[in-house]
Structure 1
Amino acid sequence: MRIAIITGVQTEADAFMPGTYDRLEQHGGLSIRFVSCATHDVAISCCGVGKVNAAMAATLLAAVHQTELLMIIGTAGKLGSLAGDCFIIHEAVQGDYGAQRSDGFVHYTAGAWPIGPAEVTAFFARPLPDIGLPQARIVTGDAFIECPDHSLRLRDGLAGDLVDMETGAVAQVATRLGLPWSAIKATTDDANGESVSDFDANLLAASRRAARAAEQAIHRM
């Protein structure tokens, strides 16, 4: 299978099969490292932070690599009390897509017409092999969450377990392109007032957890 792996931060990309490559390519501002993992051809790239970067990278990799599976790995903040520190993502929604009204923000399914009755339908991931990790629903938005009140709104309003800045965009691109997608995320922080220091302290270890889990999953495909 031809798999494209996307991360938002370079540390996350470097943690996957570190130091290994069959070749390196540069496409515009996107550096791509190609590796062989089990029987699969894998292209891995750090897209940079945020939904636009993630969507651009997913679209480019789908074309350049003739991708059969889009995968995003790396780190996330935790919104609730779900046990564990590394998760297989089974659903993704976007937490900043919708309508801003006088009585507050109303969420809609990403890409849907944000007028009329509100509904949020998740993007559903392709199931990964069982590697002993719990599943989680992730909320994606173009903001790093440092506010516990906003964290609660995302948890309660969108049934989110985790929050990040890329997964929902990759999921939306994959859906539009008719490709399956999957994701593995390890947590660095609790999306609260300590998020910045916790993210900095835990980035490397969490990146390694997610990367090792992705390697295990790919080996079992």
Structure 2
Amino acid sequence: MAHILILAALPEEADALFPDAGTREDGIFAVRRLAAHGHALTVATCGLGKVHAALAAGMLGTDADLLLMSGTCGALDAEAGRAYWLAEAVQHDYGTVRPDRFDRYRAGDWPVGEVGEAHFCAMADPGTGLPHARIASGDSFIACPDVAAGLVRGLGATLVDMEVAAVAQAAMRLGKPWAAIKAVTDTADEGSSRDFHANLVRAARSAAQAVERLVAMPGFGNFVAPQQQIR
């Protein structure tokens, strides 16, 4: 039996996962524990932002075999309303501020010297059939098309959120594999706040259904952590 920690930033995202199942526990993080398809699942509401996500991953993920994130995101260059397998994640606000540019490095690396790959790789998709994407995470809600376009140009990102890349960094430090499935609520423009609230419940359930199908896949549980160097 695999132990899977499923993190969601918001209560709406957590409640969409295996609704009405499991036993609730109150603590630093709201947690629901259940069994499904031969796996032990811990569904935790971590809160918004990279610090909350990393703290929950560190506190709750030490005994987990997989760190998995579900929830919602904004589209930079992706289809609104769809759920995506997040094959890569990068922290778009980690790096070095220079007079003429912002150099991005992989979070946790020294932000000096030659700029290389800044992203973290998820575990291999076991066959979800979902489109793959690179997500850019940072402690800012993006509601500006110019900033969104810059993340596409500078990072090759197609989605944006505030947590996934922090979970990826925590997973790397813990030596655990990670995965994430998120569904789009908005298009990271001037109307994003309105669209996010309007589409939150629908998108959260779309991502949750994809997670539920993932957990139910035959043979799911043979997790391999990507080989990425810890510096």
Which of the five TM-score ranges fits, normalised by the shorter chain?
over 0.9
1:185 aligns with 2:185: no
What secondary structure, in the 3-state scheme, does the structure 1 residue paired with 2:199 have? helix
* Equivalent residue number for residue 26 of structure 2: 26
Unaligned residue ranges in structure 2 (runs of 5+): 221-231
Residue identity in the other structure for 1:24: R
Query: CA–CA distance in 2 between the matches of 1:188 and 1:61?
Result: 27
What secondary structure, in the 3-state scheme, does the structure 2 residue paired with 1:90 have? strand
* Equivalent residue number for residue 4 of structure 1: 5
TM-score (norm 1): 0.95
TM-score (norm 2): 0.91
**Equivalence map 1:1-221=2 (5 Å):** 1-21=2-22, 23-27=23-27, 29-63=28-62, 66-81=63-78, 85-220=82-217, 221=220
What secondary structure, in the 3-state scheme, does the structure 2 residue paired with 1:57 have? helix
Residue identity in the other structure for 1:118: V
Residue identity in the other structure for 2:73: A
Query: CA–CA distance in 2 between the matches of 1:49 and 1:115?
Result: 29
Residue identity in the other structure for 2:20: G
Query: CA–CA distance in 2 between the matches of 1:173 and 1:95?
Result: 16
Query: CA–CA distance in 2 between the matches of 1:81 and 1:62?
Result: 30
What secondary structure, in the 3-state scheme, does the structure 2 residue paired with 1:213 have? helix
What secondary structure, in the 3-state scheme, does the structure 2 residue paired with 1:44 have? strand
The structural deviation recorded for 1:81 is 3.9
Distance 1:183 1:81, change over 3 A: closer
For these two proteins, the number of residue pairs brought into alignment is: 217
The structural deviation recorded for 1:132 is 2.1
* Equivalent residue number for residue 226 of structure 2: none
Q: CA RMSD in A?
A: 1.2
What secondary structure, in the 3-state scheme, does the structure 2 residue paired with 1:20 have? coil
Query: CA–CA distance in 2 between the matches of 1:121 and 1:48?
Result: 24
Q: Deviations over 1:73-131 (max 9, x none)?
A: 10000001458711011111110000111112111111111112222332111123323
Residue identity in the other structure for 1:20: A
Residue identity in the other structure for 1:73: S
Greater Cα shift, 108-117 or 194-203: 108-117
Query: CA–CA distance in 2 between the matches of 1:170 and 1:36?
Result: 23
What secondary structure, in the 3-state scheme, does the structure 1 residue paired with 2:93 have? coil
Contact 1:84 1:134 in 2 (8 A): no
Unaligned residue ranges in structure 1 (runs of 5+): none
Distance 1:70 1:81, change over 3 A: closer
Query: CA–CA distance in 2 between the matches of 1:102 and 1:12?
Result: 40
Contact 1:128 1:217 in 2 (8 A): no
What secondary structure, in the 3-state scheme, does the structure 2 residue paired with 1:33 have? strand
Runs of 4+ residues deviating >6 angstroms:
none
Q: Deviations over 1:130-149 (max 9, x none)?
A: 23211111110000000100
Query: CA–CA distance in 2 between the matches of 1:206 and 1:82?
Result: 12
